[in-house]
A and B are shown apart, each in its own frame.
Chain A
Amino acid sequence: MTFIWQGVREAFSMLLHPTPDLLSILRVTLELVLWATVLAMLIGLPIGLVLGLGRFRTRRVWLGLANGGLGLPPVVVGLFVALLLFQSGPFGGLHLIYTVRGMVIAQTILALPIVIALTATSVQAIDPALLQQAGALGASRWRLGGFALREARIGVFVAAMAAMGASLSEVGAVVLVGGNLEGETRTMAGAILTSLSGGYYAEGIALGILLLGLTFLLAAALTVVQHGSRSAPTSSVRYLSTARR
């Protein structure tokens, strides 16, 4: 039990007196989470939208693949990405192995099925009558897509949260592709792994507490953004309150 308390104390101490190493780990982690989430959302949202709204023959196959992708083993993804990015691999010339960019690629691949599957599911849950009505009032495909995303915003928000959570906590693929290099590609999860394998349990616990804190902080930030977009008075309500004065 002593080492747990020691870990908690050390976590607070690390927070109060952050070392350059810790700051580097935090920076790499946030960079990875941000880029992987943004890329997964940018690529995954349109694909999820097409799979959710489209009516084409291979749609179920693609949906099945996206759902299957939710269970992609990170280590296997990391292995394949690493093999592709190794100096001797087909993309070795890009010099992405053991870089944060390489880690972002691996992490985006892992987050992509999450975004696609959750977006498609939430878009499919929109009342078909509403989409048909939009069509009956002349909405173009682009406007229909934008409208569907807005109507499915809670599902889209969950997709962003899940993609972010996966990026924060993932170890296998990130370590394989990034190499867990101190000061360069070491993330929080990678640092915890290193601490525990070196027997520095208190440090591992401290990093774990920090990672949890970071997760909740980012989730809270996203929730505030989402809640803000729901509770902020719409322009029509503002108009009405002005008109009534």
Chain B
Amino acid sequence: MSALLTCRSVRARQGDTEVLRGVDLELRRGEVAVLIGPNGAGKSTLLAVAAGLLPTSAGAVERGGRVAAAMQKPALARRTALANVELAISWWEGRRRGGRDDRRERAMSALAAVNASQLAGRPAGSLSGGEARRVHLARVLAVEPDILLLDEPFAGLDPSTRADLLYDTASAIRSERRATLVVVHDRAEAWALADRVLVMTRGRIDAQGSPRQVFEHPPTEEVAEFVGFTGTLDEGDSVLRLRPSDVELDPAGPISAEVLRRVPLEDGVRLDLSTPKGRLVTVAPEPAPEVGTVTRLRVTGGVRFPSERAPAPDDPASALLSGADGSRTGTPASRQEAGR
């Protein structure tokens, strides 16, 4: 697959703040890459730079085709949904634009691709948030770009509208001729859309790979934290990061923990737990321990990273957390599979 978009050591500023700090990215024809990261990581700035809407302060962006971007806000002109899509086509084609009938046909098929044919005659002002997002998406699909950039296409939608649009988008954006980069916030959205996930933190791309690789084996603690490994156990020479599903309440478990907070959920109770070596989160079925109760638990997974501080030889964490054989990987992104 040939690269349609290449960013080499790209730096960019928003006002006085350097938002992109050396981004390297290659987007290949036929693939859908999903960019995720915490707020302020620089995702939208990277998209704007890739679209040519924001200049770089250093580095280079090479585009092997025309880029169309759907910005975060689905701002539509005061005309019908169909006319909005037609307008996008005429912007895109400029003086080379074809006939009106051709534009209409393309606009209608783009609306159909995102299940929005029924919205064609509706004025933009009468569309709901989800409907406006569908028209917004149809607008960029209609121009048939070589490189398609979508900035948070599901932002601000209620869960069911979001899910509907997500599934429609997942099928609509796939094309062998196009390279697509989508910025999302949610891991579930990344799973549904991505061939490749890119995790961005503090202006750099810190991890990339298939969704499974990135979400199961995050390469850094920061990425691990972002992808859901929110619990921490400090083992001295290494730190174990754990997802709620990696922690199980067990009366015979080796770790003692105090319940700090209980939050009822649909499928149980989320418990925030304090152990001598760090804080953990788990989801337990009812009846779950009350706040202030001391309980016991074991960890069933997690990812281990080398600790930044030197290990103390008599660190009790070793006894508390080492596996049955006392082994420690000490390797970033190593997966701790054995139950404890």
Residue A19 CB within 8 A of the other chain: no
With beta carbons under 8 angstroms apart, the residue of A133, A140, A147, A236 that contacts B121 is A236
Residues 85-123 of chain B: 1 if any A CB is under 8 Å from the residue's CB, otherwise 0? 011101110100000100010000000000000001100
CB-CB < 8 A to B100: which residues of A?
235
Across the interface, do B77 and A236 meet the contact criterion of CB distance under 8 Å? Answer: no
Residues 137-167 of chain B: 1 if any A CB is under 8 Å from the residue's CB, otherwise 0? 0011001000000000000000000000000
Residue B73 CB within 8 A of the other chain: yes
Residue B174 CB within 8 A of the other chain: no
Most buried by A among B70, B75, B120: B75
CB-CB < 8 A to A130: which residues of B?
75-77
Across the interface, do B70 and A136 meet the contact criterion of CB distance under 8 Å? Answer: yes
Across the interface, do B68 and A236 meet the contact criterion of CB distance under 8 Å? Answer: no
**A interface, size bucket:** 20 to 34
CB-CB < 8 A to B66: which residues of A?
138
Task: Report the Cα distance A129→B66, complex, angstroms.
Answer: 21
Q: Which residues of A contact B (CB under 8 A)?
A: 127, 129-130, 132-140, 143, 147, 150-151, 234-237, 239-241
Whole-angstrom distance between the Cβ of B119 and the nearest chain A Cβ: 11
Whole-angstrom distance between the Cβ of B301 and the nearest chain A Cβ: 42
CB-CB < 8 A to A140: which residues of B?
94
CB-CB < 8 A to B91: which residues of A?
134, 137-139, 143, 147
Given A137-B143, A143-B94, the answer on whether A236 and B51 have CB atoms closer than 8 Å is no
CB-CB < 8 A to B86: which residues of A?
236
Task: Report the Cα distance A137→B100, complex, angstroms.
Answer: 18
Whole-angstrom distance between the Cβ of B19 and the nearest chain A Cβ: 17
CB-CB < 8 A to B51: which residues of A?
136
Task: Report the Cα distance A153→B76, complex, angstroms.
Answer: 16
Across the interface, do B73 and A129 meet the contact criterion of CB distance under 8 Å? Answer: yes
CB-CB < 8 A to B77: which residues of A?
130, 147, 150-151
Across the interface, do B68 and A137 meet the contact criterion of CB distance under 8 Å? Answer: yes
Residues 62-84 of chain B: 1 if any A CB is under 8 Å from the residue's CB, otherwise 0? 00001011111101111110110
Task: Report the Cα distance A150→B83, complex, angstroms.
Answer: 13
CB-CB < 8 A to B72: which residues of A?
129
Task: Report the Cα distance A237→B122, complex, angstroms.
Answer: 9
Task: Report the Cα distance A127→B76, complex, angstroms.
Answer: 9
Whole-angstrom distance between the Cβ of B136 and the nearest chain A Cβ: 8
